C-alpha cells in the first residue's frame, strides 16, 4: 500500500482511508474486527470515524466498536493506526449538545476518547461548519486540546473554500497550525469541489480526504446490478435512470480496460491532484478487497480523457470555469 503525507504535515498515511460508518448499524462487531484486521494487513492504517456514527445501533456505537478493537492488545494496534474522528453532530437532546462551541468540543472530545479507549485522537475533524460560533472560540478550544495532547491535528469536513481560507487565516494570526485536511464528497459524478475547495486545499496545504468516492454505489456497477434485479429500491432506480446514458458509456469502458467499475471509480479519485486518501466504507470483506485492488490500477491518459467526457466536471477552478 502506498503512503503519502497528510497535507503539509509530516504525518504519513495510507492512500486509502478505512471508513467505519457501517460498523454497528450494518456490520456487527465481529465482522468489523475482521475488516479492520484485513485493512491493517494490507497497509491501510488510516481509519476514519465520527462520534455520531452507529446507525441503528445508536450514536457512538461505531467509536465503541473501534475502541473495543484497539483494546484487544497492549496498544500495538493503536500505535499502527492514524485515527480520525469528528465532532459537530448532536449526541443527545441536550441544549448545548452539538455544534462547535468550546463546551461541546471539549465534552465531545472527552466522550470520543472514552469510547475509542485511547488517550489521543490523531486527526480531530469538524463534521460541518458552524456559522453560529466564532472562529476565535473554536480555535481556543482546539488549541487547548492540542496543548493537553488529546488532539494532534485538526481537520474539517464539508467546508466551502471560503471556510477553509477563513479558518486558516485566523489560525495563522493565533500562531496555530490550523486545518491540515478537508473531507468532502468527491467522485466522477460529483465534482463541484474542483471549483473552489480543491484549489483552497492546494493553496493552504490541506490534504483532501474524499468521501463517497463511488457516488453511493452509482459508480460501482449500478447499471449491471439493476439489470440483474439487485437495485430495486425506488431511490436507487431513480438515480440510475437519471444517469443511465453516462452509465451506459462508463460500465462498458471499465469492461474494455478489464477492471470492475468500483475499482475504476476509486482509481480515478486517486489520480486527482491534491487527493490524499479516499474513504472506503466497506460493509463486507469483498468490498474492502475491491478497494485495495483499486490502488494498484494505473489509468492511462486516454482512459482519463474518456472518463472526463462521460462525467465532465465544472470546467476547472473558479472563476475560470465560468468566467474569463
Distance CA 167, CA 165 (A): 6
Distance CA 63, CA 117 (A): 9
Rounded to 5 degrees, φ, ψ at 231 are -135, 70
Q: Which of the residues 53, 124, 153, 250 is marked catalytic?
A: 53
Peptide bond between residue 28 and the one before it cis (omega within 30 degrees of 0): no
Q: Tell me the Cα Rg of the chain.
A: 20
Contact (Cβ atoms closer than 8 angstroms) between residue 149 and residue 143: no
Distance CA 128, CA 202 (A): 20
> Considering only CA atoms, which of 154, 157, 139 is closest in space to residue 53?
157
> Considering only CA atoms, which of 146, 200, 228, 190 is closest in space to residue 312?
190
Distance CA 216, CA 213 (A): 8
Here the cell at position 138 is 473554536
Burial class (CB in 10 A: 0-12, 13-18, 19+), 273: exposed
Is 53 a residue of the active site?
Answer: yes
Q: In whole angstroms, what separates CA 158 from the centre of its chain?
A: 10
Contact (Cβ atoms closer than 8 angstroms) between residue 208 and residue 199: no
Return contacts of 306-312, CB within 8 angstroms, 24+ apart.
306/253, 307/188, 307/250, 307/253, 307/264, 307/268, 310/188, 310/246, 310/249, 310/250, 310/253, 311/188, 311/189, 311/191, 311/246, 311/250
Give me the active site residues, please.
53
Amino acid at each position: 500500500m502506498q503512503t503519502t503525507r497528510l497535507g503539509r504535515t509530516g504525518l504519513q498515511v495510507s492512500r486509502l482511508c478505512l471508513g467505519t460508518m457501517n460498523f454497528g448499524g450494518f456490520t456487527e462487531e465481529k465482522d468489523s474486527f475482521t475488516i479492520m484486521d484485513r485493512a491493517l494487513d494490507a497497509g491501510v492504517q488510516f481509519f476514519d470515524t465520527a462520534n455520531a456514527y452507529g446507525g441503528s445501533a445508536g450514536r457512538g456505537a461505531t467509536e465503541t466498536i473501534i475502541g473495543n478493537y484497539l483494546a484487544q492488545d497492549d496498544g500495538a494496534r493503536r500505535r499502527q493506526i492514524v485515527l480520525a474522528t469528528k465532532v459537530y453532530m448532536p449526541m443527545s437532546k441536550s441544549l448545548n449538545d452539538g455544534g462547535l462551541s468550546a463546551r461541546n468540543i471539549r465534552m465531545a472530545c472527552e466522550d470520543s476518547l472514552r469510547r475509542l479507549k485511547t488517550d489521543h485522537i490523531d486527526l480531530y475533524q469538524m463534521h460541518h461548519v458552524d456559522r453560529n460560533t466564532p472562529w476565535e472560540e473554536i480555535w481556543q478550544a482546539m488549541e487547548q486540546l492540542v496543548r493537553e495532547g488529546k488532539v494532534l491535528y485538526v481537520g474539517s469536513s464539508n467546508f466551502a473554500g471560503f471556510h477553509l481560507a477563513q479558518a486558516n487565516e485566523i489560525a495563522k494570526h493565533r500562531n496555530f497550525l490550523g486545518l491540515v485536511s478537508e473531507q468532502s464528497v468527491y467522485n466522477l459524478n460529483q465534482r463541484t469541489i474542483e471549483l473552489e475547495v480543491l484549489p483552497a486545499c492546494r493553496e493552504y496545504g490541506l490534504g483532501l480526504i474524499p468521501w463517497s468516492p463511488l457516488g453511493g454505489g452509482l459508480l460501482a456497477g449500478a447499471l449491471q446490478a439493476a439489470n440483474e434485479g439487485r437495485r430495486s429500491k425506488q431511490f436507487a432506480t431513480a438515480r440510475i435512470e437519471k444517469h443511465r446514458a453516462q452509465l451506459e458509456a462508463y460500465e462498458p469502458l471499465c469492461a474494455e480496460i478489464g477492471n470492475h467499475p468500483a475499482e475504476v471509480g476509486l482509481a480515478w479519485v486517486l489520480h486527482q491532484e491534491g487527493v490524499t486518501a479516499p474513504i472506503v466504507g466497506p460493509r463486507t470483506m469483498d468490498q474492502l478487497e475491491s478497494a485495495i485492488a483499486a490502488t494498484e490500477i494505473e489509468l492511462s491518459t486516454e482512459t482519463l480523457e474518456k472518463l472526463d467526457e462521460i462525467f465532465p466536471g465544472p470546467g476547472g477552478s473558479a472563476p475560470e470555469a465560468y468566467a474569463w
